[in-house]
């Protein structure tokens, strides 16, 4: 299942890939929503689709974020990047 969350006439610059559930992919989705930034929300199904897609991931797990020919993995890394990118830095005392 693939869902595009974008403005009409505006191509998606970001592609977030995660399973079709909330989990570790939900925080990046919420950051996109809070920033009002369009993104492609690619949702992978467990089973055959995941088995076929897994070798294409950097470390064999999700979520991954693709943008400008680059790929980021790990949910906290993606969330920090997006927060800084969109000027919505979510500061938590545990990261200081």
CA 69 to chain centre: 14
Residue 87, domain extent: 2-95
Number of domains into which the chain is organized: 1
CATH of the domain at 52: 3.40.30.10
How deeply is 78 buried, as exposed, middle or buried, from its count of CB atoms within 10 A (0-12, 13-18, 19+)?
buried
Beta-carbon contacts of residue 37 (< 8 Å; ≥ 6 apart):
14, 86
pLDDT at 82: 93
pLDDT at 92: 54
Is-contact 39 82, C-beta < 8 A? no
What is the pTM (predicted TM-score) of this model? 0.79
- In tens digits, what is the pLDDT along the chain, a chain of 96 residues? 555 554 444 567 999 999 999 999 999 999 999 889 999 999 999 999 999 999 999 999 999 999 999 999 999 999 999 988 888 665 555 544
């Amino acid at each position: 299942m693939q869902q595009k969350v974008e403005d009409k006439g505006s191509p998606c610059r970001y592609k977030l890939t995660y399973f079709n559930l909330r989990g570790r992919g939900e925080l990046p989705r919420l950051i996109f929503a809070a920033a009002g930034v369009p993104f492609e929300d690619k949702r992978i199904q467990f089973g055959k689709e995941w088995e076929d897609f897994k070798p294409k991931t950097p470390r064999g797990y999700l979520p991954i974020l693709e943008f400008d020919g680059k790929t980021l993995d790990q949910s906290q890394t993606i969330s920090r990047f997006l927060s800084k990118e969109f000027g919505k830095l979510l500061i938590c005392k545990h990261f200081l």
